[in-house]
Every structure is written in structure tokens, then in C-alpha cells.
A and B are shown apart, each in its own frame.
Chain A
């Protein structure tokens, strides 16, 4: 089965309907044995130092995996650096399929984008609908894992992040992934509920420093809401695939995202929110809107390279937790 790389979450139902294997290049990059060296490779190739490390990592990992000859690049609704990323990969002989989430969530435009993708892969709405049913069966297990996190306090922030983030491509094998999640669910359901601790929300793109979750838990705070990771699981009750990708908040404006964030913050009884923004990302600007619109204490973290949590970030986390207490 041919592989297709993706630069962020796209209507993956289309890919599975066509019998291709989707590969989320972000996950491939960050789980590499040496992600930092991938960033450096891109810099050696000529990528600027003051640019998002995710983009650089994706560039290098795409070149390293020569079995990925086609990449779906999200040209709107993620990051405009993707444009140049596509071009540099095109230069290296990779075939690029562009996909754009319409900024205003227009359903006609979104349907058209999805149909273009379907015609590229040669699949019908019927096949795509069947793929959605198949994937929703897997997603529902991850929705349960999320519920066990915030409603029953049996799952940690890192696991919540990991299994949800994997729903962008289901690790290329939905049924095998589902079996993995079933194992975890079984274990966690019988685990004792965690004691009282600070309940945090994590908003923004997934962190480039995974250690964050463990660090917080060692200090009596747990992330019970991972905003964007949860969005990757499409936690929406809708049979309509176009509507599903309209309800999906990540590619659209901050105000639409905030509706979801505020709703979940109340439901999950959050004490505070960590807003993570990648260095050099336009989303750093949105921090000022988030701070004005969220009625909760916010700590803004900035991450650049895939490394350990640095001393300054740890210090800021300590103070934030102390402040919430």
C-alpha cells in the first residue's frame, strides 16, 4: 500500500478509502531517535534559524523517508511556511497535493476541497463514508480515554496527549491502534482514581517538548484537556463528513477555537491554562486575544527546538502552579 505524508490533520477518511497509508510527518519527526539533528539538517540545507522547528523537522524527515513520494500539504488553516516547505520538497522530487481549509468555514468551499482530494485518490463519497464509520469506531475509544482523563481522573496528561495526537493518521493501521487503545483502557479503568491535584488545560499546537506533562505531574498538577490533540480525534456527533471538518476547530480562527476552549474549561473544571506557542509562529500573536477572552489564569510557554525542558521554563511552570494554589 502506498504511503502519503500529511503535514497536519486532513480528511484522512479519503486516504483510507483509497487504500493508502497516511503518515503524519510531525509524528515521524518528533519520534525520530534524534529530532534535533533533523532540524539542523534543514538549517544546513538553507532553512533559516529563526523559523519553526516543526517545518524544518518535517522537511528533513520527508527527505529521509524515500518511500513517501506523495505529500498532502495544508496550504490554508495551518501555517504559511508550508508553502515554501512544499516547494523545497517539490524541488527534491516529492509530489505535492495541496489542501486548504477555508478560513470562514464555508461548507461549499470545504466540500470542493474534499472532492478534489477524492478525485486525486479516485474514491467516491460512499467509500469515504464507509471509511468514516471505520475510523469513528477507533476514535470512539480515544474519546473514552479522554473522558477517563477528565471525568474519572484515571489517565495522565501525557497519555491523553499521545493517543489523541495519533488520531491524525492512526499510526497507519487503525485496527492495530484501536487494539492498543483497548489495552490502555482496560488498564486504566481498573486503576485507582488520582488524588486531588491542580487541573490544567493545554491549548495550542502539540508541544515540541514532551517532558512537560511528566514535569507537571511530579508537581501535583495534571493536564486534563489537550485542546488541539483532542480536535484531532474529531469528537463531534455528526454523520456528515463535511460538517465534521467544519466543526474541527484547529484550522479556523481563534474565536471559533475559543468557543470550544471555554466550553471544555468549564466542563473539565480547569484551574488554569497553559498556552503553548511555537517560536516564530503567528499563533504567538493570538496570545493577546486568548488572555483577554479567557477568564482563567494563563501561562504562555514558548518552545523552539525539540529538547529537554529548559531551566527557565521549569521555573515559570513552578511559579504558575504556586500561583494557582
Chain B
């Protein structure tokens, strides 16, 4: 039994892998998870995974945004990009691809050759290409994330660099009479435009798309069409990091 924990900025993903490679997956809201399972020890938060409702695991491996600051008792920490790539390789069976991981507040692009990371890049300074941005924009339009992800035709032009100003821009466009589908398409295109320079820098014939944003259907279609690459989304794309932790502990890759 291997336990993988991905401490994300918006949600904590927990995956349990048995000897046959069967996966059990659980997801928690990050804040709730820390409140519920976190104990303050000196100047850091420590997570006791034994209280999680999972059978005891042989090895606990953690990754993610919180791994530096948050201690997970008895866990080994591995770098996030490593975890995501291992998870993506394991879940897709592919060895040569560009990994695109769009999470809560991070966008990462890694070039994978022979199953190993050879180069990578990540967003800096701004999270306007991430899940949090999509959540905010959906809230501003008063539609669900699923609805937002269903539009790609006639995209409205959105120019703001800042995720919050992007919301003000949306409201301005609504006043101008722009339709909700057109604005939703504009939001999806604006994400694509932000990640395209990273994808161009690390190109492959195949793009493996992970992270919660991979559920956005329109974005998947836009990336595939605009880059000409074959787009692969593993099942449970947001669990790739936690799966990678298990894979790493099991020494499979």
C-alpha cells in the first residue's frame, strides 16, 4: 500500500495504491483539510495522515505547493513537477510528451523524454492561467465551471493582464451587450493565450493535460486544434500528482 498526497493550493488530493496498482482517490478542500487534520507544531503545520479514513500505507509520499511549509508526519516529500510527470507517465503509458498541468494557482509545462523531465517552465507573478481564474470568471458571469467550459465560439477579446481586472473587464463587456457564451469563450481563449508561449518553448507531438483545469472541454479542444498536437487527458487529471507520489514510492518508474 502506498499513500500519495498532493497538497494543492485549492484542494488536497489523496491517492492510495495497492500492490496490484488499484487506485483509491479522495479530494479535500485545502483550507478544510488543514483545519481538520493539521496540528501546529512550533512554527509549522503538521499533518497526521493516520487520522485519514484510509487503511495504513507502507509509504507516505507528499508533494505540492504545501510540501515545503507543511509537514506530513512520516512522509517523504518529492518535487511537484516530478510527481506530476511520473503520474502522467504511469496513467498514460507515454514516455515522450509535453506535460501541461493547470492547477488551482499554478500552470506548469514540462518537456518529458524517455519518461524523464528534461526541461520545464511555470507561471510567475500571475495566476490568470489557472483554475482559480476560471472559478472567479465563472462566478463573475454567474455560470457553472461546466457551463464556462462548454463555449468556444465567437470569443470576446479580453486583454487584462491581471486576473482580477479580468473580472472588471467582463462586467464592462456585459454592459456593452456581449453575450455570455461569447464571454465564456473569451475566458477560455485568454487562458490558452497565456499558456501558449510555454507550450511553444517546450513542444512535442503529444500534450498530456493534467490538473483540474483539464476538465474544461473547450480549452482542451482549443489547445488541440491550435497547436496541432495530440491531446491526452488521463482519467482523474487532477490526481496525477498524488498518483505520481505513489508511483515514486513503489519504484515503478
Contact = CB atoms under 8 A, between A and B. Distances in A.
Which of B79, B81, B82, B117 is packed against the most chain A CB atoms within 10 Å? B79
Interface of B is mostly: mixed
Given A312-B65, A323-B118, A302 B125 contact: yes
Nearest to A317: B79
A302 B124 CA distance: 8
B125 A304 contact: yes
Nearest to B120: A319
Given A312-B106, A315-B80, A318-B79, A323 B68 contact: no
B124 A315 contact: no
Interface of A is mostly: helix
A19 interface: no
A311 B119 contact: no
A323 B125 contact: no
Contacts of A311: 65-66, 68-69
Nearest to A323: B117
Contacts of B120: 316, 319, 323
A312 to B, nearest CB: 7
Given A297-B119, A315-B68, A322 B125 contact: no
B122 interface: yes
A315 B79 contact: yes
Contacts of B119: 297, 323
Contacts of A82: none
Contacts of A312: 65, 106, 122, 124
B196 to A, nearest CB: 15
Interface string B40-75: 000000000000000000000000011011000000
Which of B68, B106, B118, B121 is packed against the most chain A CB atoms within 10 Å? B68
B69 A319 contact: no
Contacts of A323: 116-120
A244 interface: no
Contacts of B122: 312, 316
A319 B80 contact: yes
B140 to A, nearest CB: 23
A315 B81 contact: yes
Interface string A238-255: 000000000000000000
Contacts of A316: 81, 120, 122
A279 B126 CA distance: 12
Given A297-B119, A323-B119, A279 B125 contact: yes
Nearest to B121: A300
A319 B79 contact: yes
8 contacts: A291-B201, A302-B124, A304-B125, A316-B120, A319-B82, A322-B82, A323-B116, A323-B117
